[in-house]
Amino acid sequence: MTRKRLILAGCGHAHLPVLARLPEFVAAGVEVVCLAPGPTLAYSGMGPGLLTGRYGLADLTFPVAALCQAGGGVFRRGLAVAVEPAARRLLLADGGRLDYDAASFGLGSRVLPDFAADGSPAPVAYPVKPIENLLLARQDIQARAVEGERVRVLVAGGGPAGFEVAACLLELLRQCGLPGEDLAVAAPRGLLPGWPARAARLAEASIQRRGGRIILARVQALKAGQAVFADGTSWACDVVLAATGTRPPGLFAAAGLTAGGPDGGLAVTRRLHHPLYPELFGGGDCIDFTPCPLPRAGVYAVRQGPVLAANLLAYLTGRELIPFCRDGRDYLSLLNCGDGRAILRKGRLVAQGRWAMVLKDRIDRRFMRSFPLPEPGRAAAHAGGGPPP
């Protein structure tokens, strides 16, 4: 009897519960292939803390390759760049291909800066995803400071990610002995648009109290030593961090698997599979949940994960799938202010304090501990075959 093959394309947050249940898939006769660019996954919720040194990369990475192999799966380093749904095949960046009986996408999203770089030397730009870019930005700023250089930093984008990055950069500048006045946030709609007004005021005060500047304009281009805004003004800068919104990768639109929206995510039903190709599943930032729009927030990837794991196993073993139900309650948001405090939001409730950062840290570290490696030998009885052809 031929074993069914499940491909986990990307080891994003929504796939962590799937990895935790791999022994069940293997015991059911399913070959599981985890396809990801690298052996670890960085948890985005703790990412801004890389800028301040509160966390090191090891504090916020899951060993997804080790989790896969410990559960009896096969880890393959690579990236899916195209889907052939009729043939049930993925095409890879290295020219390889993988056939599947079911595939699940946890590819996350990417930051696509909506400005052009023109001129030399243009400011160095770091998209805030992948999260590892934040560590590179920290190292860059520290190295410039050690050389005695002035480091003028611009954050493009004023949403939650842009605010956290800017707030943590202010702490990094302080640590380097650099003035907060050399940081600006380009936020055409102000900070935290769509949030309660009190949250926006707290965010603005957090930036401005430490010398940072808020520019109500969109970055249009990076030229020699400066950022040019859509209103024609400019600001001298050396380093830019782009937090201008996220988009799913383009392979779904190319394969006709989207819902027709501008974002181009994989269209999925309440059961987290495609309406026309039920063998294609997904979760997190790379999907478009067709029953209702969902914000691209990590909390949804985390909540979808257990449903995704259950439905993949059910699909491959011929059982009934369960729906993902969006909880009508507002989820808890905690934003790192970089100075030991955090802004908390729950519905209309907004607060700020050191206690909120303690709460955020506790929640984040608990999440990191929730996917430990299985005990040695736990999955040995379910060990699968060798690398997929």
The CATH number of residue 17's host domain is: 3.50.50.60
Q: What is the pLDDT of residue 1?
A: 55
Percent of the chain with pLDDT over 90: 71
The boundaries of the domain holding residue 103 are 4-109+248-328
Q: How far is CA 168 from CA 25, 47, 60, 202, in A?
A: 41, 10, 16, 15
The pLDDT-based confidence of 329 (bands split at 50, 70, 90) is low
Q: pLDDT per residue over 142-155, tens digit each?
A: 999 999 999 999 99
Q: Is residue 366 part of a domain?
A: no
Pair 346, 330: CB distance under 8 Å: yes
Structural domains in the chain (count): 2
Q: What is the pLDDT of residue 17?
A: 94
Which has more confidence, 121 or 345? 345
Residue 313 and residue 275 in one domain: yes
Lowest mean pLDDT among 27-31, 81-85, 251-255: 251-255
What is the pLDDT averaged over residues 304-327? 92
pLDDT surpasses 80 at 366: yes
Residue 304 and residue 230 in one domain: no
CB-side exposure of 22: number of CA atoms within 13 Å?
34
Calpha distance 109→104 (Å, rounded): 15
What is the pLDDT averaged over residues 304-312? 95
Q: What is the pLDDT of residue 382?
A: 39
Calpha distance 228→217 (Å, rounded): 10
Q: pLDDT per residue over 197-222, tens digit each?
A: 999 999 999 999 999 999 999 999 88
Residue 133 and residue 238 in one domain: yes
